[in-house]
Amino acid sequence: MEGHSTQLHSPAIGTAGEVIRYGHWGRPVLVFPAERGRAYDFASNGMVNAVAPLIDAGRVKLYCVDSYDGASWSASEVPLEERAQRHGRYESWILDQVVPYIVDDCGGVSDIVTVGTSMGAFHALNFALRRADLFPLAVCLSGTYDPTVWNGWGDRGDTLYFNNPTDYVGHLHGDHLDRLRGRLSIVLVCGQGQWEDTTGALDSTRRMAEILSEKGIRHELDLWGTDTPHDWPSWRAQLAYHLPRFC
């Protein structure tokens, strides 16, 4: 399926990132790629075709974005706190450039679904938790949600803490927590097959579900079988199963 590509410049990053839109109408879905991924990865790996009936029916518009992981979370030579600070540049691009583009393209619709695979699932969850006013639903496929396990080293400060859902969600309270309980829905999906254990995705997904349950934040935990590996065929099936429920 052919998409429409747009380059959006980021003053924070100092260059442009790509956004590829698929669809002409429907609920907007912001798609984060797997680690170090590009905007075209979703289509290249069959994910767009997996939900083509929704796109063709005008039920959903996908907005697939480039990652910034190579300069932030995946830069293992950099201490974790600095990686988190670098991620802030990516967050600025998403919030200041990508979101206004999506809202304008959708005629003012601002309730955007986030979707991601692997490290993209971390982004989908973290953006929704931090900005549920924009992203009231996150669909997270085979994610790990604790950046400290990503070859982490160095001193850890506030920026890392507030970008580590495994840490900060457990300490949410008061009005912020009440707003999340009333606004946010999270779908955590993971297989139990090959690589889901070695990547840490299965354990991290279970742990994240426990934390959300403890805080009373609306979520679903959907664990697929031992025949479901950490790989694109699994994510195609999982997305095709879950996305029609919300669009």
Domain assignments of the chain as residue spans, ordered by start:
4-245
DSSP letter string, 109-144 = ----EEEEETHHHHHHHHHHHH-TTT--EEEEES--
- The confidence score (pLDDT) of residue 49 equals 98
1: pLDDT strictly greater than 80: no
**Domain 4-245: CATH class, spelled out:** alpha beta
Cα-based distances in Å from 187 to 87, 128, 175, 219:
23, 11, 23, 6
- The confidence score (pLDDT) of residue 154 equals 86
Mean pLDDT of 52-71: 97
Give the global pTM: 0.97
Tens of pLDDT, residue by residue over 163-193, are 999 999 999 999 999 999 999 999 999 999 9
Q: How many residues does the chain have?
A: 247
* 3-class state of residue 9 by DSSP: strand
